[in-house]
Structure 1
């Protein structure tokens, strides 16, 4: 038999065969994790910490260092004051501070108040620039009333 032809056949057979007779067995068994099992472990750990639900909480806000806020609307909140543990469950939205402004002023810390002050300054500068542009245009002035109606 021709050695070149034999080499081609062996290469084609090795490329097409994935498993079957003569192939080595897989030594590592992949374990697929079940998210339900993870949830059960979390619930068991929370039960050990003796967390109790806190009812009637409408909103939870987490202030991030970059000035954005993680906002939870009607979350499920569990707390264990003895373990200094609070659990917040629910969907969140990432919002900027100006989107939640009138409602969250009482929740702001010193860092957030400073960023709020900077935001107010930029808004004032923007409004002043718009007013300057409107005054420079002069076309937006209301004509004076000459006749009596």
Structure 2
């Protein structure tokens, strides 16, 4: 490298700027105080897993049990929108009236929810029939009348047992 006398004044100024820039970069790399390891980026600790573990431990202490085979949970809100959970994990402690629903959710409007309910229940005719049997279609399955009562006993079973013995 040439000495300073052969280098113009501009070269010395650039050399000094580079040294200052390098010192600034070295200072930015250090994440802690003096004597700590130099790293490019600060390690981010995820506390999400610890929060999950703490929540599960609290739920276990409260005595919730998993309810299997629930395909969908719908929670209506005051603004007529609803949270729809598809294939959620549902846990409950029925005696304490505690229910826990976890899983991915989607916010839907009430019109979208009604459309999906009507299609899943098999149409408006089936819903009306479930609400009030008077809305049953004319050609539908009808129950025979008079079968609501318990039939009277015609024979005495004790006589049949005594005859065979």
Normalising by structure 1, report the TM-score. Answer: 0.49
RCO higher in 1 or 2 (8 Å CA, sep ≥ 6)?
A: 1
Name the one with the larger helix percent.
1
Normalising by structure 2, report the TM-score. Answer: 0.46
Larger radius of gyration: 2
